[in-house]
Structure 1
């Protein structure tokens, strides 16, 4: 009898273990700590970066059209900064605006890398809350800039093509420098995020390296080439963003409509990442 009882006990052990394992892999609740602080699937990170390429086209086109300065494409700012040493272009504050934009960009990239290594040492995708926060901060910084423009606290060309005198007055006003820290900082965060997500083929802020990598791709004309597709779509989206920005600048909405649109898009990316981005499956 004792042996039979022991056998019976042994026979019933596996089901209890399986039941325990089933509880362990139960899908976490939407507001559970396990989900909020848990990993997300890196495979879907390229969608957010492609959307950010579109935002770069919006914001950089508007910034250059208004003040002759970029907030994301820092190669252009470096060239403009060099020209400013010879008094070119015809903008007394060109060196200030480009330098502030460049410094803000560097600060944004630097702090994004360093803070991620502290908050999420296993990688940016290992913590849903942190990845969402990075996107929320970028949206908030553009919202700040949009609010400054909407409140007419920063000189800008809101409609059409103003005469040269008016345009010189706008780009010559040092108050515009207040816009570049938030816009440059979020641009630095944006490209740092693309690196942290591991999508080096989507630098989101620039296209020079993208064009080069496209031409150097041995499988450029292959039917199935994911990296080629990402690069090509990024080019198209940035270009379309610049086109839309140009037409919005000519509309009654002007610069503020561009910035609010860019902020809204980034905010949607942040919300999507927090709520709908698929979790990483073990």
Structure 2
């Protein structure tokens, strides 16, 4: 009399199921699982290469104006120079021959770093992707901005402390260069999302466009509303940045907050609606 097939402890068998059919079922399950994973991957890749919808991206640029206010108020209080708005730095640089301090040197460094940042981020948006509005490019741009902001914050937090505003040592110059570089990248976002007027670093042209608008007092005027919101957003950042700089958090606190906002904006770009025309 033949002995029954041994069944190991902890296992079970299904009547009528052979070892071959079990293996076939496992193979089929594996193929289905791989197919599902492949489908998820394809959808994810499709989402990341998709252009973001430009509508309402002006709201992100207005937040960038607030970031500019944070940075420039803190940098002028701490180092005596701007790191985003380069018109003032150009004036400081021009006053170099008649100045007795190092402000013109720091302003010149900020201008140079900002221009280099605009150059590099411009190539990032236009050269490595068919569209400057690709989701993954926008995410990468803000990842880099966050990294530069974090590096500057780390130096200010754990590096040597500047003895006075006129100090131009490396622990002053390097954070200025890092922040100005990423500010050039931030300004490029307005070009990528087709809001050229909202550079997030310039207000003079916005004031001109606002008060020369023939429909300035029209009840429904979205362009006017946006132009009004830009200086208001920057002023909010300036006031907040000044208060934080003068508090126990100091300039380092401002830089860490900016780095955190940049990381938050990466998430915003990830969930931002895609452009159906670019899908």
1:54 pairs, out of 41, 45, 66, with: 66
Match of 1:124 in 2: 132
Question: 1:44 offset after TM fit, Å?
Answer: 3.0
1:195 pairs, out of 168, 191, 195, with: 191
* Matched positions, count: 238
User: Which secondary structure state, in structure 1, belongs to the residue aligned with residue 194 of structure 2?
Assistant: coil
Contact 1:28 1:34 in 2 (8 A): no
Call closer, same or farther: CA 1:45–1:29 in 2, change over 3 Å. farther
User: Which secondary structure state, in structure 1, belongs to the residue aligned with residue 56 of structure 2?
Assistant: helix
Question: 1:196 offset after TM fit, Å?
Answer: 2.3
**Aligned equivalents of 2:141, 2:43: Cα separation in 1:** 19
2:86 pairs, out of 61, 65, 74, with: 74
**Aligned equivalents of 2:161, 2:45: Cα separation in 1:** 42
Question: 1:66 offset after TM fit, Å?
Answer: 0.9
Contact 2:190 2:199 in 1 (8 A): yes
Q: Deviations over 1:19-58 (max 9, x none)?
A: xxxxxxxx98796211111221111321211110000000
Question: 1:171 offset after TM fit, Å?
Answer: 2.2
Question: 1:110 offset after TM fit, Å?
Answer: 1.2
Question: 1:280 offset after TM fit, Å?
Answer: 1.2
Contact 1:138 1:190 in 2 (8 A): yes
**Aligned equivalents of 2:223, 2:265: Cα separation in 1:** 21
Match of 2:115 in 1: 106
User: Which secondary structure state, in structure 2, belongs to the residue aligned with residue 246 of structure 1?
Assistant: helix
Contact 2:69 2:234 in 1 (8 A): yes
Question: 1:63 offset after TM fit, Å?
Answer: 0.4
Match of 2:3 in 1: none
Match of 1:42 in 2: 54
Contact 1:214 1:231 in 2 (8 A): yes
Return 5+ residue gaps in structure 1 as ranges: 1-26, 156-165
Return 5+ residue gaps in structure 2 as ranges: 1-38
Question: 1:173 offset after TM fit, Å?
Answer: 3.5
**Aligned equivalents of 2:72, 2:257: Cα separation in 1:** 13
Match of 1:227 in 2: 223
Question: 1:240 offset after TM fit, Å?
Answer: 0.7
1:149 pairs, out of 135, 156, 161, with: 156
Q: Deviations over 1:196-215 (max 9, x none)?
A: 22112212102111111111
**Aligned equivalents of 2:202, 2:40: Cα separation in 1:** 39
Match of 1:16 in 2: none
**Aligned equivalents of 1:38, 1:184: Cα separation in 2:** 29
**Aligned equivalents of 1:66, 1:31: Cα separation in 2:** 47
Aligned Cα RMSD in Å? Answer: 1.8
**Aligned equivalents of 2:264, 2:218: Cα separation in 1:** 33
Q: Which has the larger radius of gyration?
A: 2
**Aligned equivalents of 1:115, 1:279: Cα separation in 2:** 20
Higher mean alpha-carbon deviation, 193-202 vs 65-74, is at 193-202
